[in-house]
Amino acid sequence: MTDYQLFTDATADLSENFMAGLPKVEVIPMEVEICGKEYLFGPGGNISAEEFYALLRKGNFASTSQINPTVYFSYFEPALRAGKDVIYIGFSSGMSGTIDAARTCADELQREFPERKIVCIDSLCASVGEGFLVREAAKKQAEGFGYEELVEWVLWNREKVCHWFTVDVFDHLKHGGRVSSATAVAGTLVKVKPLLKVDNGGKLELAGKPRGQISAIKTQISIMKNSWNPRKGKLVIIGHGDNIEGALKLEQAVQREFQDAETYISEIGPIIGAHTGPGMLALIYWGANR
């Protein structure tokens, strides 16, 4: 079997505990800016999710930057030089141009290492949804999937990762241009918890406006009932942006309705948190209702 290295980016919100027992996935850190100060999130970074949300809860807004091709080079080149092929599973092109930067780097490295294989796959996923796909890919690698077999598997299954998010406030969606000012004001007045999904093109889409957390969780559970595919995998990720109480409530609702579900609570980091703000709750699973 060809030796290859899996890569992803910090958007995937992977943790050591979540990836325990699986082949190592190299995570490329990403930049986030708050109040004019630049931070690095991910391995070797200088800001944690906890510190990030503390800054947001003080009324600050954040922005993110795509990864520079030279950064990709510093990660991919050593693996290729060591005789390994490279598979990068990156942040959705529907929300970022970073996959294009990765491919620019890959094209240059392919000329330098013509005997090696390097592919950059658009995950069409984000945050813990991207992490979900990366973890499942690492499991396939552990099971003995070869390079081409794994690439084909990721491309075939990326649109089967369902993401359903509820957001606590409209402010950060408005700041990032995801909703209009009028929608944000109206939603705040009626205590709406925006429901979003990641569509087949990997774009973030406003899918509903349930009122209050209880209604929002019921809506997420109802949607999952219509499409969860436990035959493909029973892992269900509960993601949260500095909202562990809400995550526990959502997990309890999932376990009550889906007794076969293998739930895992995961923290949502700054790369998506910059656009959704604190309080976000995400439900990720294998299904057919992207």
Are 191 and 240 members of one domain? yes
Percent helix, percent strand, percent coil in the chain, to nearest 5 = 40, 25, 35
What average pLDDT does the segment 18-32 reach?
97
Strands 161-166 and 195-198: antiparallel
Q: Please say if the pLDDT value at position 96 is more than 80.
A: yes
Report how far residue 253's alpha carbon sits from residue 166's, in angstroms, rounded to the nearest whole number: 15
Are 173 and 188 members of one domain? yes
User: At which of 126, 159, 192 does a domain end?
Assistant: 159
- Could you count the other beta carbons within 10 Å of the beta carbon of residue 288? 12
Q: Please say if the pLDDT value at position 188 is more than 80.
A: no
Are 134 and 227 members of one domain? no
What average pLDDT does the segment 59-77 reach?
95
Q: Which residue has the tokens 């082949």?
A: 23
User: At which of 107, 134, 159 does a domain end?
Assistant: 159
Are 154 and 176 members of one domain? no
Report how far residue 122's alpha carbon sits from residue 214's, in angstroms, rounded to the nearest whole number: 34
Task: Identify the CATH number of the domain in which residue 122 sits.
Answer: 3.40.50.10170
Per-residue pLDDT tens for 2-22?
599 999 999 999 999 999 999
What average pLDDT does the segment 165-177 reach?
68
Closest CA to 110 of 74, 89, 85: 85
Q: So what's the pLDDT on residue 191?
A: 67
Are 65 and 174 members of one domain? no
Report how far residue 108's alpha carbon sits from residue 101's, in angstroms, rounded to the nearest whole number: 11
Are 114 and 256 members of one domain? no
What average pLDDT does the segment 31-44 reach?
95
User: What is the reported pTM?
Assistant: 0.93
Q: Please say if the pLDDT value at position 176 is more than 80.
A: no
Q: So what's the pLDDT on residue 172?
A: 54
Q: So what's the pLDDT on residue 181?
A: 47
Indicate the pLDDT class of residue 205, thresholds 50, 70 and 90.
confident
Indicate the pLDDT class of residue 134, thresholds 50, 70 and 90.
very high
Are 98 and 140 members of one domain? yes
Are 114 and 137 members of one domain? yes
